[in-house]
């Protein structure tokens, strides 16, 4: 049976203190994982267990009970330092520190011994052979206990964790990994109904009341990927209260209720969340969508007064979310779309579009790109009447969409522009988005 090695590190591309962008997924896949496997161990990466900032029991179990751990300190990532602090508090040894060569370590750990890895000019790992060998040797050396925790070096005798707890943890960790793999296979199915049926079959074998939070969140997101909105609602309502009350879960509940045409309930959930936790771009973005859908429904039914009221509410809600953090372009572009629909001459539109454009371009330049960034550039180009850039953004959006409902959302926005007398090529773009759904 292979020992488990917990890898604490950022994920995606993140800027270091020097300003260079580091591709941590490359560091993990090309250097750390091969080194751990060469040392005869099974790697578990920490970012696979953090879900929406939710700190849960399996995370602590991995920190406390994994046989070995590697912590990448390169960017002084807050999650990594929190995890390292917990690890040092409960494990006297078997924790290895690494960092990117040329980056300055934070003062608190600058004196600690660590292994440096090299990066190319593009922020990816380079010359990995020597680093892999060094990490493998470091893990091998850790098999002969030598205290590497500052706390144990200071105090000496600190309580050890029992082997029985570690064995039970191993069984749960490996079982959770099997479930995550099964859910990934279910999400890979092409047809939503088949995808949802496969996820339900997996759910039947899970005790929702006792399952790890990470498994429940993955199950919820798998139903979302299948556009199985009633299943999302049902699952969330059956989750244990500590998980069900988390901000990200409440946001997903609001979105699912709205998609299931239960928009008044969705509004209530999201309003309560804002009252309890304050406004955020994500929560306001989802609530703005609730009002936007009610505006579109009222307009389709020729209820002009209701349509005006819901559009005004949607614009105000989106603007509230955008003003909380202007780096998040999603509520900004939605506010711009609705202002354009109401009155293209509204001076707020001229103020908003350049700020939204700058926000999304800076996010793309930072390397942390997702579907909504490309969708935003597509919608901005449509608002500006620029067909060429809009078609280029369409191709990027189709390639980046991870779930079909994302494409549907943007297509519906383009439909509304065509309905207001927009050019025919905008309708072609909406058809192109729906074609990308398959």
Query: How many angstroms separate the CA atoms of 142 and 35, rounded?
Result: 14
The answer to whether residue 99 scores a pLDDT higher than 70 is yes
CA distance 9 to 24: 8
In this structure, the number of other CB atoms found within 10 A of the CB of residue 100 comes to 22
This prediction's pTM: 0.65
Residues 362 and 405 in one domain: yes
Residue 12 gets the label, from left (phi > 0), alpha (psi -120 to 50) or beta, of left
Whether 78 contacts 106, CB under 8 Å: no
Of all residues in the chain, the percent with pLDDT exceeding 90 is 39
232 within 8 A of 196, measured Cβ to Cβ: no
d(CA 90, CA 97) in angstroms, rounded, equals 16
Q: Are 335 and 315 in contact (CB under 8 A)?
A: yes
Q: Report how far residue 63's alpha carbon sits from residue 5's, in angstroms, rounded to the nearest whole number.
A: 10
pLDDT at 345: 85
Quick check: is 168 in a domain?
no
Q: Are residues 209 and 287 in the same domain?
A: no
Task: Report the distance separating Cα 376 and Cα 394, nearest Å.
Answer: 10
Which of these ranges, 111-115, 197-201, 416-420, has the smallest mean pLDDT? Answer: 111-115
| CATH number, domain containing residue 377 | 1.25.40.10
Burial of 9 (0-12, 13-18, 19+ CB in 10 A): buried
Please tell me whether residues 248 and 227 are part of one structural domain: no
As a whole number of angstroms, the distance between CA 58 and CA 211 comes to: 10
The rounded distance, in Å, linking the Cα atoms of 102 and 118 is 8
Q: If you write DSSP's letter for every residue of 362-384 in order, what string do you get?
A: HHHHTT---HHHHHHHHHHHHHT
Residues 301 and 415 both lie in one domain: yes
Full residue range of the structural domain in which residue 225 is found: 176-238
Q: How far apart are CA 269 and CA 245, in angstroms?
A: 11
Domain boundary among 213, 238, 263: 238
Dihedral pair phi/psi, residue 72, rounded to 5°: -95, 115
171 inside domain: no
Do the domain assignments include residue 169?
Answer: no
Please indicate, yes or no, whether residues 422 and 374 belong to a single structural domain of this protein. Answer: yes
Q: Which of 131, 161, 191 is the last residue of a domain?
A: 161
Q: Decide if 131 is inside a domain.
A: yes
Is residue 167, in this structure, part of any structural domain at all?
no
Same domain membership, residue 338 and residue 229: no
Query: Are residue 74 and residue 148 in the same domain, yes or no?
Result: yes
Q: Cβ distance 224 to 256 under 8 Å?
A: yes
Tokens of 401: 């969409």
Q: Are the C-beta atoms of 212 and 16 separated by less than 8 Å?
A: no
**Residue 56 falls inside a structural domain:** yes
Do residues 307 and 372 both lie within one domain?
Answer: yes
Asked if residue 243 and residue 220 are part of one domain, the reply reads: no
Assigned domain for 370 exists: yes
Please state the domain count of the chain: 3
Tell me, yes or no, whether 226 and 313 share the same domain.
no
Query: By the 8 A CB rule, do 393 and 432 touch?
Result: no
Looking at the domain assignment, is residue 95 inside a domain?
Answer: yes
Same domain, 325 and 360: yes
**The CATH number of the domain where 141 resides is what?**
3.40.50
C-alpha span between 398 and 431 (Å, rounded): 12
Residue 223: predicted pLDDT: 95
More confident residue, 121 or 358: 358
Rounded Cα distance between 146 and 350, Å, is 63
Q: What is the DSSP string of 43-112?
A: EEEGGGT-BTTB--HHHHHHHHH-SEEEEE-TT--HHHHHHHHHHHHH-SS-EEEEEETTPPPPGGGTTS
Regarding whether 279 and 233 lie in a shared domain, the answer is no
Count CB neighbours of 435 within 10 A: 11
Residue 107 clears pLDDT 60, i.e. is over it: no
Residue 279 to residue 35: CA distance in whole angstroms: 43
Q: What pLDDT, in 10s, does the model give residues 232-260?
A: 999 999 998 878 888 889 999 999 999 99
Residue 286: predicted pLDDT:
96
Work out the average pLDDT over 56-82: 79
What integer pLDDT is reported at residue 153 of this predicted model?
58
Could you say which of 188, 213, 238 is where a domain stops?
238
């Amino acid at each position: 049976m292979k020992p488990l090695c917990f890898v604490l590190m950022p994920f995606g591309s993140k800027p270091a203190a020097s300003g260079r962008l580091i591709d941590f997924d490359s560091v993990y896949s090309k250097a750390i994982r091969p080194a751990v496997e060469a040392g005869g161990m099974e790697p578990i990466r920490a970012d696979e267990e953090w879900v929406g900032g939710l700190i849960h029991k399996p995370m602590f179990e991995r920190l406390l009970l994994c046989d070995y751990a590697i912590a990448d300190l390169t960017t002084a990532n807050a999650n990594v330092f929190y995890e390292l602090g917990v690890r040092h508090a409960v494990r006297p040894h078997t924790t290895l520190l690494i960092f990117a060569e040329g980056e300055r370590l934070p003062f608190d750990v600058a004196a600690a011994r660590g292994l440096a890895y090299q990066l190319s000019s593009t922020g990816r790992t380079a010359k990995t052979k020597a680093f892999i060998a060094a990490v493998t040797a470091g893990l091998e050396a850790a098999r002969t206990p030598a205290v590497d925790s500052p706390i144990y070096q200071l105090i000496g005798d600190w309580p050890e964790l029992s082997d029985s707890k570690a064995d039970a943890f191993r069984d749960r960790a490996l079982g959770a990994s099997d479930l995550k793999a099964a859910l990934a296979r279910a999400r890979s199915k092409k047809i939503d109904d088949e995808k949802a049926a496969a996820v339900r079959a997996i759910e039947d074998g899970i005790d929702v009341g006792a399952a790890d939070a990470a498994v429940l969140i993955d199950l919820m997101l798998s139903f979302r990927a299948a556009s199985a909105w009633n299943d999302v609602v049902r699952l969330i309502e059956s989750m244990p209260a500590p998980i069900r009350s988390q901000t990200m879960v409440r946001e997903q509940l609001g979105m699912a209720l709205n998609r299931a045409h239960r928009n008044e309930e969705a509004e209530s959930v999201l309003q309560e969340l804002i009252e309890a936790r304050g406004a955020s771009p994500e929560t306001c973005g989802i609530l703005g969508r609730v009002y936007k859908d009610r505006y579109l429904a009222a307009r389709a039914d020729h209820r002009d007064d209701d349509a005006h009221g819901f559009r005004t509410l949607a614009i105000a809600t989106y603007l509230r979310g955008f003003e909380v953090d202007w780096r998040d372009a999603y509520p900004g572009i939605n506010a711009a779309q609705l202002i354009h629909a109401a009155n293209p001459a509204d001076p707020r539109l001229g103020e908003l579009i350049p700020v939204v454009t700058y926000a999304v371009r800076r996010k793309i330049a930072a390397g942390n790109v997702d579907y909504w960034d490309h969708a935003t550039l597509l919608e901005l180009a449509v608002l500006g009447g620029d067909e060429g850039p809009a078609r280029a953004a369409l191709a990027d959006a189709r390639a980046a969409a991870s779930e079909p409902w994302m494409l549907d959302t943007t297509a519906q926005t383009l439909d509304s522009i065509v309905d207001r007398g927009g050019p025919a090529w905008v309708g072609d773009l909406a058809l192109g988005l729906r074609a990308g759904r398959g």
